Amino acid sequence: MRKYFLIIVNMWDEIFTYRLSFAMWRLRNVFQLLTIYFLWASLIPKQSVLFGYSQSLMLTYVIGTSFLSAVILSTRTYEIGDNINSGNLSALLLKPINYFGYWFAKDIGDKLVNISFSLVELFLLFFLLRPPLFLQTDIVPLLFFIITICLGILLYFCIGSLLGMIGFWSPEVWAPRFIFFILIGFFAGILFPLDIFPKPIFNILQLLPFPYLLFFPLKVYLGQLSMPEILKGISISVIWIFSLTYIMVLVWRKGLRMYTAYGN
Amino acid sequence: MEIKKYIKLWWFFARMTTKVAFQSRFGAIVFLIGKLLRFVFFLIFLILLLTKTNVIAGYSFWQVIFFFATFNLLDTIPQLLWREVYRFRTYVARGFFDYILIKPVSPLFRSLFGGSDILDFSILLISVIFLVYAAGKIDITVFGVIGYLLLLVNALLISLSFHIFVLAMGILTTEVDNAIMLYRDLTQMGRLPVDIYLEPIRGFLTFVIPVGIMMTFPPKVMMGLLSGTMLIIAFLIGISLFLFSLFFWNYAMRRYASVSS
């Protein structure tokens, strides 16, 4: 376990090597949050309800997506494709370390840095904007909220790794990721909660893995789901995680047989 | 003669960049689909929103679409023309910028126009179609159209200034990628008219950043909703920013330290 712990620590050093770049990245996150925050604050005046959301619930949702993006969507798996294409994978294969364990540890390091900064930013914004936040006090939704976050982390890791492994077959690893970011932005519920869609579309979306990254955990936090709905959502997330893990292992084995390690 | 030479050069660079982009047709097509999806997704969001609210900040459905189409136009043209800025970090960090400096071409021109992305032309076309269609659905005047076109040029001048600022910052710090994306994130606030934001955010977005002048003022003048004073302020800010960006670029160039050795 110590070696994975060291990878996590090294991730901090790696991020802070390019401090200005990281600061700009965080600044971007703040502006992205503010864009959506002010948009919804203007669209739903106090005492009004739109799409079944009061201003308080919507702004909690918006701030929640920002925080959960730091927890769930911050990742280093986007480097897997370059790692394969550059031939650096060979060096990792020779080390007594699990390849996915290595990337998961890097993910944890990245998440810890992003969570720390996100908390500070949200704390500052809270004091500047004084948003009417909804605070969940019931322990049951809070427990399920933590469970759904953990599932979201695993789900995103599987999807990110699979996208990275495109590198075994194509040097073009950024284009699929670009389209994936756009899909995530829309179908994970970053711009708006997905239940504002008409019911039939929303029902179809619930079968995809994307809503379980941000939308579902936040709905659990807001206490807007019944117990059967929570259990249904958790079941779908677990099915997706198992299916994607299985596919990930298959793709990894197939990819390794294709790997030619040029560049080293 | 100089202008003719630079137009020829731009065309040459654009053709070369397109050839490079199409070396991986898969990548080029996927990027294109991604951009189309981004456009369509936000359009869906607007339609969903307007089915419930009918108006946003007092603007009707087609007026909102016109704002969004203008945003897309002003978001796409800089990406089409000044895509090279996104690659500038590598040039400075690896010392390739030295090769640009020794060529008999303005390094600013080369750094801005050296890799125009013709693929964005399709997105531009869609924006123009939406723009013309939405314009047909709202009340416009000839003066409005002239003012709109002038303010579009002014918005592009502001955008160009930001791109030059990013290049200069790249020379001084090698930080380009997040800086240019930060500019993109800020301009996203102009996808809808800045009137939807409350004060002091609206004032900040209009005069400090100035996303409002870029994205909201052109449609507003078209709809006859912008005063003459605001029009003059918009041009003054545009020209001042451009002059200041050139000054900053020259300042940065004097401090460029090559890393190629």
Three-state SS string across B45-104, please?
HHHHHHHHHCCECCECHHHHHHHHHHHHHHHHHHHHHCHHHHHHHHHHHHCCHHHHHCCC
Predicted local confidence at residue A262, as pLDDT: 64
| Chain A, nearest residue to B41 by Cα | A186
Span A97-118, average pLDDT: 93
Which sign does the torsion angle of CA B243, B247, B248, B249 carry? positive
- Give CA–CA dist A175/B29, Å, rounded: 9
Predicted local confidence at residue A51, as pLDDT: 87
Query: Are the C-beta atoms of residues A103 and A76 closer than 8 Å to each other?
Result: yes
- Give CA–CA dist A35/B186, Å, rounded: 8
Of chain A residues 180-199, which have a CB less than 8 A from chain B? 182-183, 185-186, 191-192, 196-197
| Chain A, nearest residue to B22 by Cα | A172
User: Where does residue A220 rank: exposed (0-12), middle (13-18), buried (19+ CB within 10 A)?
Assistant: buried
- Tell me whether residue A117 is in a domain: yes
Please state the φ and ψ torsions of residue B95, each to the nearest 5 degrees. Answer: 90, 0
Query: Would you call A201 an interface residue with chain B, using a CB distance cutoff of 8 Å?
Result: no
Predicted local confidence at residue B260, as pLDDT: 60
Question: Can you say how many angstroms the Cα of residue A242 is from the centroid of all Cα atoms in its chain?
Answer: 18
CB crowding A100-132: b at 16 or more within 10 Å, else e: bebbbbbbbbbbbbbeebbeebbeebeeeeebe
Domain count for chain B: 1
> Phi/psi class of residue B7: alpha, beta or left (left: φ > 0; alpha: ψ in -120 to 50)?
alpha
Query: Domain residues for A222?
Result: 2-258
Residues of chain B predicted below pLDDT 50:
none
Please state the φ and ψ torsions of residue A168, each to the nearest 5 degrees. Answer: -65, -30
Cα–Cα nearest to B159, from B218, B212, B214: B214
Please tell me the least confidently modeled range out of A88-92, A145-149, B212-216.
A88-92
- Tell me whether residue A12 is in a domain: yes
Predicted local confidence at residue B111, as pLDDT: 94
- The alpha carbon of residue B178 is apart from the nearest alpha carbon of chain A, in Å, by 6
Number of neighbouring beta carbons within 10 Å of residue B240: 12
Q: Is residue A217 reached through a cis peptide bond, with omega within 30 degrees of 0 on the bond before it?
A: no
Predicted local confidence at residue B1, as pLDDT: 66
- Give CA–CA dist B242/B229, Å, rounded: 20
What is the full DSSP assignment across A30-50? HHHHHHHHHHHHHHS-TT-EE
User: Is pLDDT at A15 greater than 80 in this prediction?
Assistant: yes
Number of neighbouring beta carbons within 10 Å of residue A150: 13
Contact check, Cβ <8 Å, A50/B53: yes
- Give CA–CA dist B119/A23, Å, rounded: 31
Token pair, residue A139, equals 């322990």
Contacts of B196 in chain A (CB under 8 A): 38-39, 42-43
**pLDDT level of residue A67 (50, 70, 90 thresholds):** very high
Domain count for chain A: 1
Contact check, Cβ <8 Å, B27/A175: yes
From the list A31, A175, A196, the residue facing B30 with the nearest CB is: A175
Contact check, Cβ <8 Å, B30/A178: yes
- Tell me whether residue B261 is in a domain: no
Across-strand partners of B12? none
Predicted local confidence at residue A263, as pLDDT: 55
Nearest 5°: CA angle at B209, between B207 and B210?
A: 55
Please state the φ and ψ torsions of residue A198, each to the nearest 5 degrees. Answer: -60, 150
- Tell me whether residue B260 is in a domain: no
Q: How many CA atoms lie within 13 A of A209 on its CB side?
A: 19
Contacts of B189 in chain A (CB under 8 A): 31, 34-35, 38
Query: Domain residues for B35?
Result: 2-254
- Tell me whether residue A264 is in a domain: no
- Tell me whether residue B55 is in a domain: yes
Cα–Cα nearest to A236, from A260, A220, A216: A216
Q: Which residues contact B125 (CB under 8 A, 6 or more apart)?
A: none
Token pair, residue B241, equals 């920013």
A99-129 and A2-17 helices, crossing angle to 10°: 50
- Tell me whether residue A102 is in a domain: yes
Q: Which amino acid is at B136?
A: G
- Tell me whether residue B11 is in a domain: yes
Span A44-70, average pLDDT: 91
Q: Which 3 state secondary structure label does DSSP give A53?
A: strand
Span A82-101, average pLDDT: 90
- Give CA–CA dist A125/A121, Å, rounded: 6
In total, chain A counts a number of residues equal to: 264
CB crowding A84-98: b at 16 or more within 10 Å, else e: bbbeebbeeeeeeee
- Give CA–CA dist B105/B83, Å, rounded: 18
Predicted local confidence at residue A261, as pLDDT: 73
Q: Which 3 state secondary structure label does DSSP give A54?
A: strand
Contact check, Cβ <8 Å, A183/B37: yes
Contacts of B198 in chain A (CB under 8 A): 38, 41-42
Identify the residue among A58, A178, A184, A199 best suited for mutation to test binding to B, counting B beta carbons within 10 A and taking the highest: A178
Q: Which amino acid is at A30?
A: V
| Chain B, nearest residue to A33 by Cα | B185
Please state the φ and ψ torsions of residue B56, each to the nearest 5 degrees. Answer: -120, 120
Q: What ipTM describes this predicted complex?
A: 0.85
Tens of pLDDT, residues A112-128: 999 999 999 999 988 88
Nearest 5°: CA angle at A16, between B245 and A117?
A: 85
| Chain A, nearest residue to B34 by Cα | A179
Predicted local confidence at residue A222, as pLDDT: 93
Q: What is the DSSP letter of B198?
A: P
